[in-house]
């Protein structure tokens, strides 16, 4: 009878351990699923950070706009700045050599191609002033090429001014 009682206690204990094991297995599966979603979110965030870094490293726009404004002759005013092309081609992704990872898990570097030209449009009261703007921009040595593409007289409310378009290429 004692052996039967001990055997019964062991079977009850084994049943409890099986139930506990099943419960722990469910928790492990849930933790693995959560780990997978957190890993995917972390990868997505890292990709966004890499894209932001790539965009940020392209041009210091506020500094460039201030520099361009300093090149404008007195009496002139600018009406628009636009990149050329207006919308860059989609970024390409290229593999980078794996660092302490398997060859199958090569990291992806984000390469974003940016426009290579800037179109500046403005008005000047005198015909020589658009040429002065071009000369001033060339003297900064920021751009590879600066070209006055168009300069023509246009009537505006209180008189006529020279509407000019300058293209700066880097």
Task: For residue range 21-68, list pLDDT tens digits in order.
Answer: 999 999 999 999 999 999 999 999 999 888 878 767 666 778 888 999
Give the C-alpha separation, 98 to 121, whole Å. Answer: 46
Give the C-alpha separation, 170 to 154, whole Å. Answer: 30
Rounded-to-10 torsion of CA 92, 97, 103, 108: -30
Tell me the domain boundaries of the chain.
1-58, 60-87+114-169
At 142-162, the pLDDT tens digits run 999 999 999 999 998 888 999
* Residue 60 C-beta-side C-alpha neighbours within 13 Å: 5
Q: Is 151:130 a contact under the CB 8 Å cutoff?
A: yes
Residue 82: CB partners within 8 Å, gap ≥ 6? 118, 119, 121
At 125-135, the pLDDT tens digits run 999 999 999 99
- 60-87+114-169: CATH topology: Gyrase A; domain 2 (3.30.1360)
Q: What SS3 state is found at 114?
A: coil
């Amino acid at each position: 009878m004692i052996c039967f009682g001990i055997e019964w206690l062991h079977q009850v204990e084994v049943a409890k351990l099986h139930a506990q094991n099943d419960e722990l297995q469910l928790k492990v599966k849930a933790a693995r699923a959560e780990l997978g979603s957190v890993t995917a979110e972390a990868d997505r965030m890292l990709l966004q950070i890499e894209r932001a870094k790539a965009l940020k490293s392209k041009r210091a726009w506020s500094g460039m706009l201030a520099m361009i404004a300093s090149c404008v002759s007195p009496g002139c005013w600018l009406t628009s700045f636009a990149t050329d092309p207006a919308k860059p081609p989609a970024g390409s992704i290229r593999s980078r050599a794996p660092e302490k990872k398997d060859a199958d898990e090569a990291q992806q570097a984000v390469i974003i191609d940016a426009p290579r030209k800037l179109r500046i449009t403005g008005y000047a009261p005198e015909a020589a002033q658009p040429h002065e703007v071009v000369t001033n921009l060339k003297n900064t040595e920021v751009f590879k090429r600066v070209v006055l593409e168009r300069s023509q007289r246009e009537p505006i409310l209180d008189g006529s001014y020279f509407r000019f378009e300058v293209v700066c290429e880097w």
